[in-house]
């Protein structure tokens, strides 16, 4: 039997296989509301055999968007727009998840679809960005350091967004604490220069993420909860794999069910060598050291590689992104390559 195409059940929610779709920003929403593009984009992966489809980084507040074109879930209207998309994913046999995020100092930026790169000024539809400390990312605008009330609002925004996600039908919620966005900015000493209870020591820097995890778990006690980490900043003096292991234990105790392990994104001077499966060993380390479920990600574009990662117990599941964009039926192709039972919809079975 194929390990990759063995079901995985968490909190009574069964993913039919362990080949999943990573959240991928589409920069195609209007006022945070998803539309027909998101519907077709996400539903095709479910028809293509994915076990879990995670919708893109979805902002928990207007100021949490990466760009003005980002999707959101800070209003009931946005949640209602997500509902038929979630239904379409589930109707095609996959579980629907959503990644909740706040971009922090990397917010209010130009959509890459326009070909630009930089901060969108308030007069052009952008906004003042927020961060743990008033330190700009690269050439972006300098953010404002969050005060105590602002931190409380972040916690409440994540909890409220999780409630709306569950109301829309999502069965998996992922907290985005990676890639240099707000929760990651609090974690790393490179971006967190605070001298209060949220800065300085490891215990203080991880405090906001633990509080958000606890708040989301309390608000949505039955949801399957993931936390995505960048395992390392890949920069001198930054967040490390050992830090990720320690933080994973804390969020696991706070209610997280699975750790989604990526890397980098915090500072432009990072040094990362990429290649097929280049982040898998980070996931394997977290799994081995904590006993928690983990998902591996990072150029896992070959079914045989994905199979080996799961079969060798280096990860409980595999997330891919660009390969699903290249081939929305990657799951069906992978099942055929591995000799597994095909998750093809009845309308497609003649091809398999």
Q: What kind and span of H or E run contains 31?
A: none
Sign of the torsion formed by the C-alpha atoms of 241, 286, 296 and 336:
positive
**DSSP letter, residue 51:** S
Q: Is 137 a catalytic residue?
A: no
Catalytic residue among 27, 137, 181, 278, which? 181
What span, in angstroms and rounded, lies between the C-alpha atoms of 176 and 64?
Answer: 12
Q: Helices 148-168 and 76-91, interaxial angle, to 10°?
A: 40
What span, in angstroms and rounded, lies between the C-alpha atoms of 259 and 230?
Answer: 10
**Residue 348: count of CB within 10 angstroms of its CB:** 15
HEC sequence for 66-133 = CCCCCCECCCHHHHHHHHHHHHHHHHCCCEEEEEEECCHHHCCECCHHHCCCCECCHHHCCCCCEECC
Burial of residue 29 (number of CB atoms within 10 Å: 0-12, 13-18, 19+): buried
Which residues are tagged catalytic?
Answer: 181
């Amino acid at each position: 039997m194929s390990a990759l195409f063995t079901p995985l059940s968490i909190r009574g929610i069964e993913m039919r296989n362990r080949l999943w779709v990573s959240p991928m920003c589409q920069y195609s929403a209007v006022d945070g509301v998803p539309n027909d593009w998101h519907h077709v984009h996400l539903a095709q992966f479910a028809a293509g055999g994915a076990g879990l489809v995670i919708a893109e980084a979805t902002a928990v507040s207007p100021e949490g968007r990466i760009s003005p074109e980002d999707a959101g879930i800070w209003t009931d209207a946005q949640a209602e727009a997500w509902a038929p998309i979630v239904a379409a994913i589930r109707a095609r046999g996959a579980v629907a998840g959503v990644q909740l995020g706040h971009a922090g100092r990397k917010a209010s930026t130009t959509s890459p679809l326009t070909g630009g790169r930089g901060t969108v000024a308030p007069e052009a539809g952008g906004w003042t960005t927020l961060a743990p400390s008033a330190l700009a990312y690269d050439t972006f605008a300098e953010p404002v350091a969050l005060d105590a009330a602002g931190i409380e609002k972040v916690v409440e925004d994540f909890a409220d967004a999780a409630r709306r996600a569950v109301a829309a039908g999502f069965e998996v919620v992922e907290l985005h604490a990676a890639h240099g966005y707000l929760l990651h900015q609090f974690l790393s000493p490179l971006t967190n220069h605070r001298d209060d209870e949220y800065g300085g020591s490891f215990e203080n820097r991880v405090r906001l993420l633990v509080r958000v995890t606890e708040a989301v778990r309390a608000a949505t006690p039955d949801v399957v909860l993931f936390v995505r980490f960048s395992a390392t900043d890949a920069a001198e003096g930054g967040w490390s794999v050992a830090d990720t292991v320690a933080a994973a234990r804390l969020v696991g105790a706070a209610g997280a069910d699975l750790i989604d392990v990526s890397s980098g994104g915090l500072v432009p001077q990072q040094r990362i060598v990429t290649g097929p499966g280049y982040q898998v060993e980070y996931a394997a380390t977290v799994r081995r050291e904590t006993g928690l479920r983990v998902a591996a990600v990072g150029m896992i574009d070959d079914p045989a590689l994905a199979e080996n990662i799961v079969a060798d117990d280096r990860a409980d599941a595999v997330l891919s992104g660009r390969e699903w964009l290249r081939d929305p039926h990657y799951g069906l192709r992978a099942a055929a390559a591995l000799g597994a039972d095909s998750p093809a919809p009845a309308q497609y079975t003649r091809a398999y």
